[in-house]
C-alpha cells in the first residue's frame, strides 16, 4: 500500500498455494553470507515486450552472469524479492517494473534488513525504472561490478530513475 508516502504495507499472492498466499517469516538476509559477488546467486525477470528496455535488461543479464555464481529467472518480481529476504538468493534486479509488481517485495526486503536501490545506485522509489535488491552484504560490490555497464547504458540514453511520480506522493528524490 502506497499512500502519500513510501510503501506502508505489502502482501504477496501465490494462487498455486492452497491458501492463495505465501506465508513466511523473513530472516535477516545477510546472515552468514561471505559477501563475495562471485559466490552469489542472483535472480531477475524479463518483460514480454522485446523492445529497448528488454535489450537493456539482457545487457545487464550478461554483466551479472559474468560476475556472479549464476543468474536465474523464476517468476513474479515480489516473489523473487521475497527469496532475497529469505536468504535463498543474494540479489534481484529488473528494469521497467511497475509499482504493483514490486512494492510488497521491496518492503519485505527492507524489513528483513536488505538493501534496495536503483540499478545505478541511486535512491529508490517504487516509481523508478529499475530496482536492485540484495542481502545488503553484496550490494555495493554488485553496484561496483555493474557500474561500467550501467554508465554505458546511460550514455545510450537509458534512464534508471523515476518514470512517473503521482500527485501528492512524498519523496526526497
CATH number at 102 reads 3.40.190.80
Domain of 56, in residue numbers: 37-155
Is 139 a domain residue?
yes
8 pLDDT exceeds 70? no
Is 66 a domain residue?
yes
At 121 the pLDDT is: 96
Is 130 a domain residue?
yes
Does an H or E element contain 144, and which?
A: helix 139-155
What is the distance between the alpha carbons of residues 12 and 92, in angstroms, rounded to a whole number? Answer: 16
What is the distance between the alpha carbons of residues 80 and 43, in angstroms, rounded to a whole number? Answer: 7
Is 29 a domain residue?
no
Is 95 a domain residue?
yes
What is the distance between the alpha carbons of residues 155 and 88, in angstroms, rounded to a whole number? Answer: 34
Is 51 annotated as belonging to a binding site?
A: no
The answer to which of 18-22, 63-67, 80-84, 121-125 has the lowest mean pLDDT is 18-22
Strand order in the sheet with 70-73: 70-73, 41-44, 91-95, 130-134, 115-117
Is 46 a domain residue?
yes
At 21 the pLDDT is: 47
What is the distance between the alpha carbons of residues 82 and 67, in angstroms, rounded to a whole number? Answer: 22
Is 92 a domain residue?
yes
| DSSP bridge pairs for 70 | 41
At 27 the pLDDT is: 55
The answer to which of 19-23, 26-30, 31-35, 51-55 has the lowest mean pLDDT is 19-23
Is 141 a domain residue?
yes
Structural domain total, the chain: 1
What is the band of 9 on the pLDDT scale with cuts at 50, 70, 90? low
Mean pLDDT across 50-76: 87
Q: Is the distance from CB of 27 to CB of 86 less than 8 angstroms?
A: yes
Beta strands in the chain (DSSP E): 41-44, 70-73, 91-95, 115-117, 130-134
pTM of the model: 0.81
Amino acid at each position: 500500500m502506497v499512500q502519500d508516502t513510501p510503501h506502508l504495507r505489502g502482501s504477496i499472492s501465490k494462487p498455486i498455494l492452497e491458501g492463495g498466499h505465501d506465508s513466511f517469516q523473513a530472516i535477516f538476509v545477510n546472515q552468514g553470507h561471505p559477501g563475495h559477488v562471485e559466490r552469489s546467486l542472483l535472480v531477475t525477470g524479463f518483460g514480454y515486450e522485446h523492445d529497448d528496455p528488454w535489450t537493456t535488461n539482457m545487457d545487464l543479464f550478461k554483466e551479472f552472469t559474468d560476475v556472479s555464481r549464476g543468474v536465474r529467472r523464476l517468476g513474479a518480481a515480489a516473489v523473487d524479492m521475497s527469496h532475497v529476504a529469505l536468504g535463498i538468493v543474494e540479489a534481484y534486479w529488473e528494469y521497467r517494473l511497475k509499482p504493483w509488481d514490486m512494492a510488497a517485495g521491496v518492503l519485505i526486503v527492507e524489513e528483513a534488513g536488505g538493501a534496495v536501490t536503483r540499478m545505478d545506485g541511486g535512491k529508490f522509489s517504487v516509481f523508478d525504472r529499475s530496482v536492485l535488491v540484495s542481502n545488503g552484504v553484496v550490494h555495493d560490490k554488485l553496484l561496483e561490478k555493474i557500474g561500467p555497464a550501467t554508465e554505458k547504458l546511460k550514455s545510450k540514453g537509458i534512464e534508471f530513475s523515476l518514470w512517473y511520480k503521482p500527485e501528492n506522493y512524498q519523496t526526497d528524490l
